[in-house]
């Protein structure tokens, strides 16, 4: 199969050159290029309404995005499906700017029948991985700060007494036999006990900071006692 690419040039745009084609399954693919900056934008729009873009600069993927939802996502598996289609672009310098990402060839070979799958560059995969996890970590960190602020202001005198009781019980058990496993189980038991007291006797929700903190320290103590004691 031979591909037909349409070319549009407009020096006023961020990407002065635009190349468009249609795959055998009637999905629309587009390559936008700014050769002066060494930057390329790949775009795929399927018949099912899916819409993706990937921005690459000198072979390094800067951003991958699902345009339908606006979410940043890893498009390696999706765009690799169109590696033959993109590799059919009759412009070797432009293909070299893509840098072999998604298995797209770095030089024009003529027809799709002659195109074989290549390996994505390791550096591009590492950059994609960290770019995908950083937004999730930021959302998790900001949400944790808001939750901690809420629960820290919800503390009462009884909760401070419970925290002292939990810490004192764990210290007493550890001082008695120097056993990390027993200390960890004591932390879990006393934390759960104070939580039940909040529910059944004090008729209110437990102060989750003391529960989370106790379980976190207990996990470390159990791990230390199980593997190293």
> Does the predicted model carry a pTM greater than 0.75?
no
Give pLDDT tens digits for 184-223: 888 888 888 888 887 788 777 777 777 788 888 888 888 7
Give pLDDT tens digits for 7-61: 888 888 889 999 999 988 889 999 999 999 999 999 999 988 899 999 999 999 9
Domain ranges for the chain:
6-140, 154-228
Percent of the chain with pLDDT strictly greater than 90: 34
Q: Sort strands 28-34 and 39-45 into parallel, antiparallel or unpaired.
A: antiparallel
For every residue of 135-176, DSSP letters joined together read HHHHHHHHHHHHHHHHHHHT--HHHHHHHHHHHHHHHHHHHH
Q: Sort strands 60-66 and 51-57 into parallel, antiparallel or unpaired.
A: antiparallel
């Amino acid at each position: 199969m031979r591909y037909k690419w349409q070319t549009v040039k407009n020096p006023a745009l961020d990407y002065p050159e635009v190349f468009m084609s249609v795959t055998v399954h009637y999905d629309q693919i587009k390559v936008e290029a700014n050769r002066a900056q060494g930057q390329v934008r790949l775009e795929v729009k399927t018949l099912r309404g899916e819409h993706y873009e990937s921005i690459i600069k000198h072979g390094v993927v800067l951003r991958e995005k699902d345009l339908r939802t606006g979410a940043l996502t890893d498009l390696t598996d999706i765009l690799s499906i169109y590696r033959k289609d993109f590799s059919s672009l009759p412009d070797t310098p432009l293909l070299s700017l893509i840098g072999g990402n998604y298995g797209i060839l770095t030089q024009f070979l003529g027809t799709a029948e002659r195109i074989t799958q290549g390996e994505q560059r390791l550096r591009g995969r590492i950059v994609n991985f960290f770019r995908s996890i950083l937004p999730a970590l930021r959302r998790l960190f900001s949400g944790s700060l808001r939750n901690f602020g809420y629960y820290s202001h919800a503390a009462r005198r009884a909760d401070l007494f419970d925290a002292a009781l939990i810490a004192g019980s764990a210290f007493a058990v550890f001082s008695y036999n120097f056993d990390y496993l027993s200390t960890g189980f004591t932390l879990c038991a006393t934390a759960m006990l104070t939580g039940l007291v909040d529910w059944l006797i004090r008729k209110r929700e437990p102060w989750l900071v003391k529960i989370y903190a106790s379980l976190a320290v207990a996990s470390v103590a159990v791990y230390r006692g199980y593997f190293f004691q």
